[in-house]
Amino acid sequence: MKQIRIFRFVFSACGLAALVAGCHAPTPVLLDHPRMAAGVQMQDVSFYSAALGRQMTYRVFLPAAPAAGKKLDSIYLLHGNGGGYREWSNDSDVAGYAARGAVLVMPEGESSYFVNAALSPSDRYEDYLFRDVIADVESRFPVAADGKHRAIVGVSMGGFAAVKLALTHPEAFAFAGAISPAIDVPSRQFRWRRWSQGWRFRTLFGPAGSDTRKHADPFLLVQTVDPGRVPYLYVTAGQNEPLLEPNRRFAARLHTLHFAYEFHTRPGGHNWTEWDAQLPGCFESLFKHLQPAG
């Protein structure tokens, strides 16, 4: 019993030290069981990220036999907090959409919300995604290198990032899908019962009321951008999840400001059962808004 208590103390102390230092949370080691589809191949790519200063990994689904000389659309799939680059392939039936002539890219984002952390200068995950991942994908795979043939879709943490990046980099994508996005994260108030989460959000977005936090808040960003330049936004939420209310508020703001968007709900909670059920509608809309690559 004494050994158990000592272990818990050391673990807690190390966790607190990591939070104080602003370190990203380690990605849990999960069993790998990708859900494949006919006519699709999978590759895992390890490459050096200059933005993060270390090796990173992303997973790709692409057609098993792409036509010679043909450029493909690229679709970036962002995982949720606590997930990893295997999450989309292991927990959804997304693989089949690669057979329609697209490269599905699943980058590792750890628990970063895919932002350049305000109080941890070495955690430059937005730069990593835009400067490193996209460039590496376009150097290795036959994808069209422009925003008209590029989309981004995320779940939960990744859904927040998809919306935020679509608003701050509108030229980079033609479509942004946000499935149960944690859309209100930058505006959440600090609560002692969730002090570790509050500290983490402070590291990522800056102190409450700071300019860095305001510049990451989708509710404020939509008031500062031209709706005509922003990618088509596709937002969903489960009818039994706590994120339904903030997503309804966000959809109402998109409507008031005349953005091109869709908002859908369906029965379910904040989990892959509901998210996987949202994919057919999301991808049907996605392929309508991407220009076919040639």
Domain range spanning residue 223?
A: 35-289
Which runs of E-coded beta strand occur in the chain?
Answer: 40-49, 54-63, 73-78, 102-107, 150-155, 175-179, 232-238, 261-266
Q: Domain for residue 47, yes or no?
A: yes
Q: Domain for residue 15, yes or no?
A: no
206 neighbors 213 (Cβ within 8 angstroms): yes
Better-predicted residue by pLDDT, 17 or 159:
159
pLDDT of residue 79: 98
- pLDDT tens digit string along 149-182? 999 999 999 999 999 999 999 999 999 999 999 9
- pLDDT tens digit string along 89-114? 999 999 999 999 999 999 999 999 99
pLDDT of residue 17: 40
CATH number of the domain to which 263 belongs = 3.40.50.1820
Count structural domains, the chain: 1
The chain-wide mean pLDDT, for the chain, equals 90
Distance between CA atoms of residues 35 and 89, nearest Å = 6
Q: Domain for residue 28, yes or no?
A: no
86 neighbors 34 (Cβ within 8 angstroms): yes
Q: Domain for residue 169, yes or no?
A: yes
Distance between CA atoms of residues 78 and 125, nearest Å = 12
In percent, the amount of the chain with pLDDT more than 90 equals: 83
pLDDT of residue 157: 98
Q: Domain for residue 14, yes or no?
A: no
Q: Domain for residue 3, yes or no?
A: no
